[in-house]
Amino acid sequence: MANEAVKYVWEGAIPLQIHLHKSDVASHPSPPPALVLAPRIGYLPLLIPHIKPYFKDSLPPGEDSIWFDYKGVPLKWYIPTGVLFDLLCAEPERPWNLTVHFRGYPSNILIPCEGEDSVKWNFVNSLKEAQYIINGNCKNVMNMSQSDQEDLWTSVMNGDLDAYTKLSPKLKMATIEDEFSRKASLSSPQSRQGATEMDVAGQIKTARVPVRLYVRSINQDFENIEDVPGIDTWDDISYLNRPVEFLREEGKCFTLRNAIESLLPEFIGDRAQTSGEERSRDDDNTEEADGLLREMGEIKLARIQGIEMKLEIPFSWVVNNLMNPEFYLHISVLVKAPQR
C-alpha cells in the first residue's frame, strides 16, 4: 500500500500552458503557448529546456533570465511545482496557465536562479535541513560521495523512483513508525524500547518531522472554493518552515489535524466533524462559549500532493507516503482567520 502511494506521488504531474510574456515577444505573430507536463515533485526551472525551443525565435536579442508568473505573481522557483499549484489555484485549473519571461528578472523579490545548479543546490540544502531535523545531524548527506549525490539528484530530476529507492537508503534517514503497523508489531522487541529515543532499526519514538506549511487565510466563508480570491502577492501567504514534534501517546493517534494545529495553535478547537459534536456545541449555549467559538479559526482545506486531505488521517501515514524526495512534507492550507 505504501509503495503504491509513493509511486502515485512520483508520477503526479500538472499540465501547464505556458504563454510568453508580451514584452518578450519580438516576432509577429506572437507564438502560441507551449504545453508541458510538469512533474509535481519537480521545479519550474527544470522545464526550461523543454520550453525555450518553442519561443527562441520570438525572443529579443540579449541574455536570458527566465522566470514565471501566475496572474502577475512571480513564482518562487525553489518551491516544488505541485505545491505552487495546490497553493495558488484554490480551484485547480487544468491546464494551468502560466506566463514565462525571458527578461526583467525581479531580483528584488526572487532570489537568483542559475538554472539546474541552483535548483540542485536548493534541493541538497533542503535535504540537509530535513536530515538535521530527523536525525539530529546531517552527516550522512555530507558524507555521501559526490557521485551518489549527483545520482540522487538526477533520479529526482528524471522522476526515476527506482533509482531513487536504490540510493535513498544511503541517507540512513530515521523512519517514523506507521500507526497502522504499530499494533501488529506490539509484540516485537523493537516496540519495547524504553528510554532510548532511537532503536537499532532507526525508528524514533519522539520524532521531529520536516514540514513546510503554506497558509492562505481568508476572512469569510465561501460557498464554492472557486470563489476564493487569488493572491496578489506572496505577503498573502504565511510560510512556516518548522518541524512538527510528533507525539507518540499510548492509545492515541497523532493525526494530520494534530500536526497542523501544533504549528498553528490558534486553530485548535475546530471540532465540528460529526452531527453529535455539533449538537453538544449547541447545547453549550452560554455567552462565553459563543465568544470562544467565534474567536477560533477554522482549517477549511489542507492539500498535500494535490489531495484534499481528511484531517483525521494518521500523520505517520501522511509523512511516510506523501513527502517530497528531499524528505519534506509540504502542506498547503486554507484557513478562515479567527475573528477578533
* Residues near other proteins (CB under 8 A): 76, 78, 107-112, 128-129, 132-133, 138, 210, 215-217, 233-239, 241-243, 264-266, 335, 337-338, 340
Cβ of residue 234: shortest distance to other proteins, in angstroms?
A: 4
Nearer to other proteins, 72 or 239 (CB): 239
Cβ of residue 102: shortest distance to other proteins, in angstroms?
A: 20
Nearer to other proteins, 128 or 205 (CB): 128
Cβ of residue 292: shortest distance to other proteins, in angstroms?
A: 13
Nearer to other proteins, 53 or 112 (CB): 112
Helix/strand number for the chain, H first, E second: 12, 14
Cβ of residue 26: shortest distance to other proteins, in angstroms?
A: 28
Cβ of residue 217: shortest distance to other proteins, in angstroms?
A: 4
Reduced DSSP (H G I as helix, E B as strand, rest coil) percent helix, strand, coil of the chain, to 5:
40, 20, 40
Cβ of residue 66: shortest distance to other proteins, in angstroms?
A: 17
Nearer to other proteins, 26 or 109 (CB): 109
Residues with Cβ within 8 Å of 78's Cβ and at least 6 positions away in sequence, in order, are: 43, 111, 118, 119, 122
Rg (Cα) of the chain, in Å, rounded?
22
Q: In whole angstroms, what is the distance from residue 88 CA to residue 216 CA?
A: 9
Nearer to other proteins, 58 or 238 (CB): 238
**Distance of CA 125 to CAs 41, 112, 132, 153, 273, Å?**
16, 16, 11, 12, 39
Look at residues 318, 321, 16, 302 and name the one whose alpha carbon lies nearest to residue 161: 321
Cβ of residue 103: shortest distance to other proteins, in angstroms?
A: 18
Nearer to other proteins, 6 or 237 (CB): 237
Nearer to other proteins, 18 or 130 (CB): 130
Residues with Cβ within 8 Å of 53's Cβ and at least 6 positions away in sequence, in order, are: none
Cβ of residue 85: shortest distance to other proteins, in angstroms?
A: 19
Look at residues 86, 24, 77, 45 and name the one whose alpha carbon lies nearest to residue 322: 86
Ordered strands of the 298-304 beta sheet: 237-241, 211-218, 329-336, 298-304, 307-308
Q: Which three cell numbers, joined as nine digits, stand for 221?
A: 466563508
Nearer to other proteins, 219 or 285 (CB): 219
Q: Are 213 and 242 in contact (CB under 8 A)?
A: yes
Q: Are 224 and 218 in contact (CB under 8 A)?
A: no
